[in-house]
């Protein structure tokens, strides 16, 4: 799958190609499913093959974590994979990486940026050790540590026609504009929808964009406004390209939590990074380096 042909895969594994082909056939017979499509152009994964590959990657990571936990139980070392939602990475990724390099040079911290729904699935399967998620009342499968309460704000281009000269806007007013929002797989959107429903309001005519980079480009093109945390657009705000307004009646915020699996024991390195993340968030909140975030 990764190498495009069985001959290249056999070379990487240092086994004869016929032996690898035979092992693959035995595996397919055992599973009762075809894992690879073979053609003159090489091999490509079937749908069943992709599913099997994802599970195999998770199992291999758990084996590596187990070896690391046994081999380095006295000192934090090894690899830790931490998943971050798109809307959080701008605030947390670089400070956490810098702190990990300084305090735990023997730990390789791998950061992955995904939609919130994808991160939850990866955490369940063991493909990531830790994930920053949002408390939507459905985090019971995980061991969750509250980090911060983050405000969502109305954000638009600096010269956009909405609410000039104002610093606040009601939720009803915000929802009356042309909104550019992430899809429901994104942690921000379900929170906005839930608060709107509770207030007897609804979103309508939303332009859905899941990429933060593309969403910001749409804002700069004056296609609409958005409701997001400030952190992802802080550079544009500091350059005077965008502006934000507080939302009230009611306000919208989300609880940011650090999650780990309840079923898989954490490695020493994962525990160290978990504690480090709590400390980094505390520093960011108390120094106002994470705009709109209040320490829990």
Residues 143 and 280 in one domain: yes
The CATH number covering residue 80 comes to: 3.40.190.10
Number of domains present in the structure of the chain: 3
Residues 43 and 103 in one domain: no
Residues 163 and 242 in one domain: yes
The CATH number covering residue 221 comes to: 3.40.190.290
For each of the chain's 296 residues, which pLDDT tens digit applies? 555 666 776 666 667 777 767 777 777 777 788 877 776 667 777 887 677 777 777 676 666 666 666 655 567 899 999 999 988 999 999 999 999 999 999 999 999 999 888 899 999 888 999 999 999 888 888 999 999 999 999 999 999 999 999 999 999 999 999 999 999 888 899 999 999 999 999 998 899 999 999 999 999 999 999 999 999 999 999 999 999 999 999 999 999 999 999 988 888 999 999 999 999 999 999 999 999 999 98
pLDDT of residue 21: 73
Residues 36 and 76 in one domain: no
Residues 217 and 74 in one domain: no
Domain annotation covers residue 1: no
Residues 142 and 71 in one domain: yes
Q: Are 142 and 83 in contact (CB under 8 A)?
A: no
Domain annotation covers residue 137: yes
Domain annotation covers residue 11: yes
The residues, any chain, with a CB within 8 Å of residue 200's CB and separated by 6 or more, are: none
Domain annotation covers residue 26: yes
Q: What is the DSSP letter of 225?
A: B
Q: What is the CA radius of gyration of the chain?
A: 23
Q: Which of 119, 145, 120, 155 is nearest to 227 (CA)?
A: 155
Residues 229 and 180 in one domain: yes
The three-state secondary structure class of 120 is helix
Residues 88 and 227 in one domain: no
Domain annotation covers residue 281: yes
In the chain the beta strands, taken as DSSP E runs, fall at 36-39, 42-45, 78-85, 107-114, 130-134, 142-157, 168-170, 180-181, 207-208, 226-228, 242-248, 252-261, 293-295
Q: How far, in Å, are 128, 186, 240, 284 from residue 177 at the CA level? A: 38, 20, 21, 32
Range of the domain at 224: 150-254
Domain annotation covers residue 57: no
Residues 128 and 269 in one domain: yes
């Amino acid at each position: 799958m990764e190498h495009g042909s069985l001959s290249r895969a056999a070379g990487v594994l240092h086994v004869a190609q016929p032996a690898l082909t035979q092992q693959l056939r035995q595996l397919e017979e055992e599973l009762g499913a075809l894992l690879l499509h073979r053609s003159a152009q090489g091999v490509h994964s079937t749908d069943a093959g992709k599913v099997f590959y994802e599970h195999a990657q998770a199992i291999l990571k758990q084996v590596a974590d187990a070896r690391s936990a046994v081999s380095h139980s006295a000192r934090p070392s090894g690899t830790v994979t931490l998943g971050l939602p798109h809307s959080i990475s701008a605030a947390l990724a670089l400070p956490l990486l810098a702190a990990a390099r300084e305090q735990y040079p023997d730990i390789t911290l791998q950061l992955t940026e995904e939609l919130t729904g994808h991160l939850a699935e990866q955490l369940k399967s063991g493909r990531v050790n830790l994930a920053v998620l949002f408390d939507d009342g459905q985090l019971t499968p995980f061991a969750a540590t509250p980090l911060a309460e983050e405000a969502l704000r109305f954000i638009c281009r600096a010269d956009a026609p909405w609410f000039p000269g104002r610093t606040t806007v009601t939720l009803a007013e915000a929802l009356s504009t042309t909104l550019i929002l992430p899809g429901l797989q994104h942690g921000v959107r379900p929170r906005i929808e839930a608060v709107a429903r509770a207030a007897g309001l609804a979103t309508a005519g939303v332009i859905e964009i899941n990429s933060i980079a593309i969403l910001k480009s749409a804002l700069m093109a004056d296609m609409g406004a958005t409701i997001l945390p400030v952190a992802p657009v802080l550079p544009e705000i500091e350059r005077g390209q965008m502006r934000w307004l507080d939302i009230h009646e009611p306000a919208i915020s989300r609880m940011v939590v650090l999650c780990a699996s309840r079923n898989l024991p954490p490695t020493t390195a994962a525990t160290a990074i978990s504690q480090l993340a709590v400390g980094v968030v505390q520093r960011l909140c108390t120094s106002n380096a994470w705009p709109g975030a209040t320490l829990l």
